[in-house]
Every structure is written in structure tokens, then in C-alpha cells.
């Protein structure tokens, strides 16, 4: 058997085995349920997601290049890793739907959207979103290694990742197969993106509290960066305005250096604390 084919089969089976274990663990009593819950929240979720997404894209190229140590073997190994991931998702989808047949005849997200845009377009578009997996993996890694030093260097607020990066849609009744795997994907990436946005609010308001010159950009960005309309210096202002904004909102090295509208700055009455 060709080495790359052997690698593909081995990686596909390893991923399917991992998925099977995730279904088995909650059935192993209180300890199993606790472990399952840990895998549903960061940092446990990060380990689980890395196993299914990042590891195959690293192991594949390494083992693929091991045979001849050429760039095309590295690329072929990457293809094997990605192919194993796709195979695992498709195989798990079929198996999960077979195990939950009672839900297949009822309302489903995939069936509804297939009727609206067409099956081919819907499934092609869904798989296109999978290209974002490496992007979200990098964002999550940066939340681990880039932001934490800022919490002690300049006293930006710390965050409990598990409150943001977690999954729970598997508990929703009727989500099976295709619907469940893609809803969990959205569940995961939404938390990562929201946490990253929250961290970036602190960074922007701390280092660059200046409104954009483009009115349209200000309108678009104020949803994610509320301080834009609540403290940033005007785009046609002066550095004195920036200095005033910084002095008004940042008390010093031992104070609260969160973004201006952060809940930690507000009292019960909704007024900013001293």
C-alpha cells in the first residue's frame, strides 16, 4: 500500500476514534460527565479542537515529507491531513444521522436552507467556511500568547477564556449530523471572535483613542468599538485632545485600564467609577 494512502487511512481512523471517544466519555459516570464538560470549555476545548483541526495539518506534512523530504511530499502530506479531516466530518455526519434517525424527518436547518438556495450551493458554501479554521486557530493562539503579557505590563483586564470559548449547541434537541457539526463550528468560532474583539477594544482605547476620519468607518466600527462615540478624540482634533482622553480614562499603573465602557468601570447606577 502506498505510504500516503496508509497515512490517510491511519489519520482518518484516528480522528473518527477521537470523535467516538467524545460520545463515550459522558456515559462513563460522574467522572466522565465532568471530563466531557471540561472538553466543552477552554482550555479543554482548545485541546480537543487542536486534535481535530490543527494536529492533522501539522502531522500530515511532517510524515509526508519524511518519505523523500521534498516540498511536494510536504504538500501531499498536508493534503492527506486535510483529506482525513474531511473524511472524518463526512463519515461522522452519516453515522450520527443513522443513530438519530427520528430527527431526520422533522424540521432541519440543512433541509430548510437547501430549499431556499439549493443543495449544491448550500453545501459548497458551508465547506467554503471551513477555510477559516486556520484563521480562527491563529486568533485563538494569539489570545494565549499576545494578550496575556498586556495584563501585567499595562494592566489591561484579564478574561476567563472559558466564559467566551465554549460550545453548548450539542445540547439543543434535534440538532443531528450535518446541522450539529456545523453549528458547533459556529459556536466555537463565535466565542473566539467575540473574545478577540473584547481584547482589541482594550488595545484600541488604550493606545489609539482617535476617531477615524471616515464617517462611514466610524458608523461601521462603533458596534464593536463603543468607545469610538464615548471618549475617543475627534479625527480633526489635536494631540491635546488625545492626551485629555487618556488622562480622563486611565488613572495610572495600578488603576483600571480596560476600555472606557467596560462593565468593570460602571457602578450599579451605570456611572463610571473613580
**Whether residue 262 has pLDDT greater than 90:** no
Predicted local confidence at residue 68, as pLDDT: 60
C-alpha grid cell, residue 259: 476600555
Predicted local confidence at residue 271, as pLDDT: 43
Question: In this structure, is the dihedral angle defined by the CA atoms of residues 263, 267, 271 and 274, taken in order, positive or negative?
Answer: negative
pLDDT tens string 18-44: 999 999 999 999 999 999 999 999 999
Predicted local confidence at residue 196, as pLDDT: 97
Burial class, 243, CB count within 10 angstroms (exposed 0-12 / middle 13-18 / buried 19+) = exposed
Predicted local confidence at residue 258, as pLDDT: 93
Q: Which residue has the higher pLDDT, 123 or 71?
A: 123
Predicted local confidence at residue 222, as pLDDT: 95
Predicted local confidence at residue 270, as pLDDT: 39
Question: In this structure, is the dihedral angle defined by the CA atoms of residues 42, 48, 50 and 52, taken in order, positive or negative?
Answer: negative
d(CA 223, CA 204): 14
**Whether residue 117 has pLDDT greater than 60:** yes
pLDDT tens string 176-221: 999 999 999 999 999 999 999 999 999 999 999 999 999 999 999 9
Amino acid at each position: 500500500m502506498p505510504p500516503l494512502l496508509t497515512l490517510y487511512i491511519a489519520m482518518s481512523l484516528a480522528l473518527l476514534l477521537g470523535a467516538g471517544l467524545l460520545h463515550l466519555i459522558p456515559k462513563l459516570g460522574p467522572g466522565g460527565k465532568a471530563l466531557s464538560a471540561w472538553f466543552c470549555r477552554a482550555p479543554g476545548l482548545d485541546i480537543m479542537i487542536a486534535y481535530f483541526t490543527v494536529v492533522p495539518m501539522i502531522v500530515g506534512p511532517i510524515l509526508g515529507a519524511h518519505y523523500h523530504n521534498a516540498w511536494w511530499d510536504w504538500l501531499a502530506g498536508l493534503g492527506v491531513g486535510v483529506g482525513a479531516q474531511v473524511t472524518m466530518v463526512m463519515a461522522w455526519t452519516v453515522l450520527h444521522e443513522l443513530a438519530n434517525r427520528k430527527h431526520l424527518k422533522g424540521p432541519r436547518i440543512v433541509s430548510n436552507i437547501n430549499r431556499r438556495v439549493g443543495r449544491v450551493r448550500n453545501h459548497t458554501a458551508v465547506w467554503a467556511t471551513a477555510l477559516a479554521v486556520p484563521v480562527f486557530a491563529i486568533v485563538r493562539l494569539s489570545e494565549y500568547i499576545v494578550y496575556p503579557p498586556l495584563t501585567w505590563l499595562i494592566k489591561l483586564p484579564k478574561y476567563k477564556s472559558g466564559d467566551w470559548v465554549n460550545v453548548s449547541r450539542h445540547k439543543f434537541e434535534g440538532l443531528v449530523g450535518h446541522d450539529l457539526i456545523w453549528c458547533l463550528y459556529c459556536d466555537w468560532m463565535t466565542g473566539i471572535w467575540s473574545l478577540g474583539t473584547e481584547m482589541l477594544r482594550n488595545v484600541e482605547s488604550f493606545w489609539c483613542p482617535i476617531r477615524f476620519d471616515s464617517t462611514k468607518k466610524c458608523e461601521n466600527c462603533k458596534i464593536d468599538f463603543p468607545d469610538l462615540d464615548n471618549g475617543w478624540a475627534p479625527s480633526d482634533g489635536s494631540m491635546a485632545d488625545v492626551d485629555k482622553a487618556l488622562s480622563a480614562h486611565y488613572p495610572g499603573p495600578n488603576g483600571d485600564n480596560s476600555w472606557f465602557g467596560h462593565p468593570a468601570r460602571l457602578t450599579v447606577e451605570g456611572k463610571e467609577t473613580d
